[in-house]
Structure 1
């Protein structure tokens, strides 16, 4: 079996895939009479939305009619993983196509005034799509609150948003164009913040409807505090959290309506997802753990819907394991552009998953708590080695309690089947060791995993 590092997508492989995808797309579109322009890409990213908060993923507490309709018109990715279980490393992974340990953004979240951020020379999807694409980042950023770490330092033509979560102070509303020495700053109107983000996104779409564009609409909700706009306050039986999710649902509808009004419906791939699982409120949909948990799915596995009429079949569902790191190589492939030079990509081109309901291109996904590898997920199996116990990230591996889960039979990760499948356990442990060998040299800080004292209870290592 190939080592993990060699299984990461090389930039030559992505370019070859991009050329092949472009040739095929041109032929198919010509046959269908579809526009031959490069596709637009829109990522609508929520902050702390849970797997079980949407009707399309089994939620019943909150009404989400526009997202449910988006799911009927596109594809539901049931086994989509955020790149991390907290926002800064997750957003770094989505933007760069790499696990955050490669970019130096894995160690927790950035707070106001943090001296660093995502390095200016680190490749991003926005930079990769230039100069063919107009690019904008609207909403929450959380990858550095000052130059040279702002969106306009990473390939975005324009930026309107907040530098970090809206519970952090002081909270400026920043606005900048590429080349500006510093962003313009104004005060935040909390109840109308998400509405402002949506209006800016609509304006960007209108202004760039005649050329390909890439738009990040990264909402700062439903992260606490939940402050819905006036027209949604008090409407949900799920309280303020539900009000905000209903507001998000309407924002998605407005964006899709704007694309259709501009004649861009079939030319635009829209992705809706979350940066990680739910925090104090929200539903993990029966998944184990929540935001900033250990190696279990509730912090990583989040809703994901992808829509592009004529390209993605309506009503499709896929259980292929995919992750936010996949969007960079996928967008580049579909746009027919080369990736800029840089570190190995961990993401894969998932265009075959989206357009043909194909199998996952991943041999495995690696889950991290900061810089520690804590779990490995393959299409069927999940191996978890660490979880929070009290204030420590406790090792299950060194306690001798192997946690192997059959994800086809036990989505909630309730029962380890290590004793039933020793061969699978050995293979998953080998995968984890290869991942450690790949990523440990990139570590910038100490491990969070605590080695337990040796147990005195006979037979405790039995599964």
Structure 2
């Protein structure tokens, strides 16, 4: 009798010890997440979204096996604030990353500012739940030690701390402006250490791809989150590409870099399939903002935002609406499309939900949980957006607000960089139906005064919460800051 009781007790203890491991390695393991965030890639720069000058066969395959999001939006037309939003789920105005007196609208090398470590990132949320987290690519949320990825929830960082056009030579050319004389050779970093400077920009896409493949192989047996902010096409007038792609496209350096990004994405998807990770990995391919465009906006030599209006770096549809494909075989319906307004703001709460995390933000965020939209088994066309209002800021200035299909450009006394108003213009509201009038060509404000009034009220709510030029909102938090910043140089 004693032996039987002892055996039963041993059996119970054994089951209790292995049951958690069974759950983690059973039929429904927690998903992996890979977030590919291109730099300045325009809506019309890849074939799944209409490009006729760039060859993107791997992205065509990704779209055929996944879902195209035709109304996926960023929160800013420039790098730093856009990147702050995708990691924190907040408008950059909320976390203080939209503008500062030293750097202007994006962070520059050796800045004393960066994403406040008190802010909670998607990497921190997932890491606290047992995920391995990595950032490979362009950071641009602060180059001082306390702001680097390893202090913001990432176990591993490999890449450059800011834009590839912020080189030592550019710094010397601009001199005292933005303290350019302090800018070091463009550094390549592993975690907190500079390992090469200046980095070979031609090889960045290849290098990031190889490091991504290695990261996937190393962590294939555990849940992981990989943030891959690609450096290309980037902000230079002549983007970089490796010898395999340089001079091979029909659209000069811009096309070369886009076609190499296509190759890179294909390599990543192939590795996931090879390791049988494809059916438990969500991959998102998107961009931080629209393309800057050439002086002749019809030329594709610096990207295309067609069929939408306007350049990157503004609040135009062409700056905020970015090409987005989501891929998760067996979970996301193949060759499907989502036309619902969604946003980079939604990444954090959605990843948390998909990972099974009972997520309660430590501070207010603006993102919405959209897993039901992502995983719908059919086209998502007429579903109401989770965002009842969406705001378009240029640095501190609130320029437009959207609700449903309606986008109102607000009357402004002194418009800053603006897609529709020139200096000393802007006294009248502009209202576009951006679903039907995708080129923003017809101002219908006069015939829809009730919609103008509704969106104007939404704008007042944004000003109270997120601020506006000369006015601080009650919901705005403080940017991170250090004293005596130092350049990132190789020791």
Q: TM-score range by the shorter chain?
A: 0.7 to 0.9
1:335-374 → structure 2 map (5 Å cutoff): 335-339=355-359, 341-356=361-376, 357=380, 358-374=383-399
Per the alignment, residue 258 of structure 1 pairs with 271
Distance 1:372 1:58, change over 3 A: same
Judge conservation of contact 2:187–2:194 (CA < 8 Å) in 1.
no
Match among 130, 138, 157 for residue 127 of structure 2: 130
Cα deviation for residue 193 of structure 1 reads 1.1
Is 1:284 the counterpart of 2:295 in the alignment? no
In the other structure, the counterpart of 1:315 is 335
Q: 1:173 is matched with which residue: 172, 181, 188?
A: 188
Q: CA deviation at 1:174?
A: 0.4
Of 193, 208, 212, the residue aligned with 1:201 is 212
CA shift in 2, pair 1:265/1:387, >3 Å: farther
Is residue 121 of structure 2 the alignment partner of residue 110 of structure 1? no
- Cα-to-partner distance string for 1:20-41 (whole Å, 9 max, x where unaligned): xxxxxxxxxx9xxx93100100
SS where residue 109 of structure 1 aligns? coil
* 138 and 386 in structure 1: CA distance in 2 versus 1, 3 angstrom threshold: farther
Offset of residue 141 of structure 1: 0.2
1:163: how far off? 0.4
Change (3 A) 1:166 1:388: farther
Structure 1 runs not aligned, ≥5 long:
1-29, 177-181, 446-463
2:449 match: 422
- 1:410 maps to what in 2? 437
Q: Distance in 1 between matches of 2:398 and 2:392?
A: 6
- Structure 1 residue 400: deviation in Å? 3.8
User: How far has the Cα of 1:342 moved from its partner?
Assistant: 2.7
Q: Structure 1, residues 248-286: CA drift from partner, whole Å, max 9, x if none? A: 000000000011111100100000000011024100113
**Residues 227 and 432 from structure 1, CA distance in 2 versus in 1: closer, same or farther, beyond 3 angstroms?**
same
1:214, 1:83 → 2: CA distance?
Answer: 22
CA contact (8 A) 2:111 2:144 kept: no
Q: Secondary structure at the match of 2:165?
A: coil
Q: Distance in 2 between matches of 1:408 and 1:292?
A: 22
Task: Name the TM-score, length of structure 2 as normaliser.
Answer: 0.79
Query: Could you tell me how far apart the structure 1 residues matched to 2:451 and 2:375 are?
Result: 31
Cα offsets for 1:147-200 (capped at 9, x unmatched): 100000001000000001111123100001xxxxx4243131221111111111
| Structure-2 residue corresponding to 1:77 | 69
> Which residue in the other structure is 1:160 paired with?
158
Note the C-alpha offset of 1:408.
2.2
Shift of the 395–192 alpha-carbon distance from structure 1 to 2, 3 Å rule, reads closer
Query: Quick one: distance in 1 between partners of 2:227 and 2:360?
Result: 20
1:349-369 superposed Cα distances (whole Å, 9 cap, x missing partner): 111111113542111211111
Q: C-alpha separation between the residues in 1 aligned to 2:454 and 2:415?
A: 30
**What does residue range 38-57 of structure 1 map to in structure 2 within 5 Å?**
38-57=30-49
- Structure 2 CA distance for aligned equivalents of residues 185 and 388 of structure 1: 49
Contact 1:387-1:395 within 8 A present in 2 as well: no
1:21-68 Cα offsets, whole Å, 9 max, x none, are xxxxxxxxx9xxx93100100001100000101111111111111111
Shift in Å at residue 387 of structure 1?
Answer: 8.5
**What is the root-mean-square deviation in Å for CA atoms of aligned residues?**
2.3
Shift of 1:104: 1.0
Whether contact under 8 Å (1:128, 1:340) holds in the other structure is no
Q: Does 1:100 align with 2:92?
A: yes
Given candidates 134, 139, 142, the residue that maps to 2:140 is 142
Asked if structure 1 preserves the Cα contact closer than 8 Å seen for 2:62 and 2:327, the reply is: yes
Structure 2 equivalent of residue 324 of structure 1:
344
Alpha-carbon deviation of 1:391?
Answer: 6.8
Alignment of 1:233-272 (within 5 A): 233-272=246-285
User: Compared with structure 1, are the counterparts of its residues 146 and 265 closer, same or farther at alpha carbon in structure 2 (3 Å cutoff)?
Assistant: same
TM superposition shift of 1:436: 1.1
**What is the number of equivalent residue pairs in this alignment?**
408
Cross-structure match for 1:383? 408
**1:371 to partner: Cα distance:** 2.2
Specify the SS of the correspondent of 2:440.
coil
Does structure 1 retain, via aligned residues, the 8 Å contact 2:43–2:323? yes
Counterpart CA distance in 2 for 1:379 and 1:77 is 16
Q: In 2, Cα distance between the equivalents of 1:411 and 1:397?
A: 26
SS at match of 2:227: strand
SS of 1:366's partner is strand
Q: Using a 3 Å threshold, how does the CA distance of structure 1 residues 397 and 336 change in structure 2: closer, same or farther?
A: farther
1:27 maps to: none
Write out per-residue CA displacement over residues 223-251 of structure 1, whole angstroms, 9 at most, x where no aligned residue. Answer: 12411100011111111110110000000
- Counterpart CA distance in 2 for 1:218 and 1:388 is 36
